Structure 1
């Protein structure tokens, strides 16, 4: 009688469930590991490791193990389950590695007093995001942030000179939405107010929600009292910010009116469909209506 197998390692639960399923399949088939190795065309040592729960086995080994346990090719459910469990275990291993790499230090850009402090906050954000690779960050930013620049930032050798690269780095670290407001304030505080030209170019690459935050930050900086007790006087920039805000408000109003018009049209179509028993083809916003027979008991209008 062979030696009893060691208990399954359940450190990663998904990996433990895969190992338990493989062992159950082998037990149901009644094969020894030596017999299974012949059927699977794989070494018995590899099969034992796959069912140990200690390491993520190769997908080929899992598939070979599960197929070898099938006495009837029509009973393939166990093989399908093994494949699904392996996929879940692989994802769980990736997540576990990310957790191990992720820093618990919370970046605090609002406390940055100079560019060196901002560099440290950016590196804290990168570490908290589990230290994504420079190549990944380049891909995530669609080339806006070259991998060489991303690598220089994470090594503390530089701070982005352009706002677009600065934001691309933060977004690649998973910082998005309202969370970017604090980072924008730190940027304007340390890099200074944008030029009128930079402000006018911002809508060409910024998403509307992000642009609205940026405009708020710039306006706050413009109206912020200085040491002398007066606000910053940059008439041209203030006019540009006002113009962009007005443009965004007009766009939002136009879209709202369009949505209301579509909503009214949909309601009218729904009424026609209900009363007439018509059949709608295409989208409700731009629909074609075909007459169909009235349902039993409905009075034709």
Structure 2
């Protein structure tokens, strides 16, 4: 397998490397001398880092590295953190950063797959999402923290860098949260308002002259999007209060009256007995305790029992420890299990009993089975 370093460099990466190499040769500086000049201005860059930036076999350097490379070559005075260069030096800086952005877009290879429209052709939310992601790629995909700083801070004019820096130092919150910027870059969301749209575009290097077209595009997307419909939540009474308990009792009584009007007296008796037996049996087996003996006759008469835990068993299992604790069963030869225990009841109810219990459950979703004095 051939290593990438043996391949020919990408075209825009080669152009950036050639531009930086010619710039250093024109300044007649070595990489060590460039690193010393930058150190005077408070920038710590090693000669090897500068050499890799001007090479063709390494990845695209970071934007601050390219800026420092240009400053070291064309800066007329670098001391105590001040970098000064004339108009020609400013043009060199813009050209170098332009080549760097093209090389970065080429290295990432995501811009062509976005198929983003121009701001004048944005109509839908999908168009806006793709266009904002494309603006980020055209800016060279800067780090999100850098994008946030360029976007500005709350309480300062966006076109005043000095005021923005002072506001940042005072601890003012940023206009664009990093989480929102991440969702926009990953095309998983959009800005929440127009202020965040403008902040994101400023972070991507969009000038104020191009902002009006983006504002009109944002308004078109809002006009084309249907208004969000809030789901209507059903009122949920507070059953912990006396009013909530009274509402629940009234609802149960109404549902019970509807059910009683449709059932015969015999069916009503089976519903009450079967519901009570199911409730007690389920709680007893779930907690690992035996069903009280007083319920044995009730479950035997109605032939309602809980299904066995094993699908191959036709009877409800009763743990041995239950009989031993109660003083009966195989662990005590002198006694025997009570015939009215739950172990002697068939596990499967009849078809008619099933239909009655199902009807009760459908009609009484919130009804609690119980006894009355």
TM-score clears 0.5? no
Higher helix share: 1
> If you compute each CA radius of gyration, which structure gives the higher value, 1 or 2?
2
Interval of TM-score (by shorter of Structure 1 and Structure 2):
0.3 to 0.5
TM-score norm. by structure 1 comes to 0.36
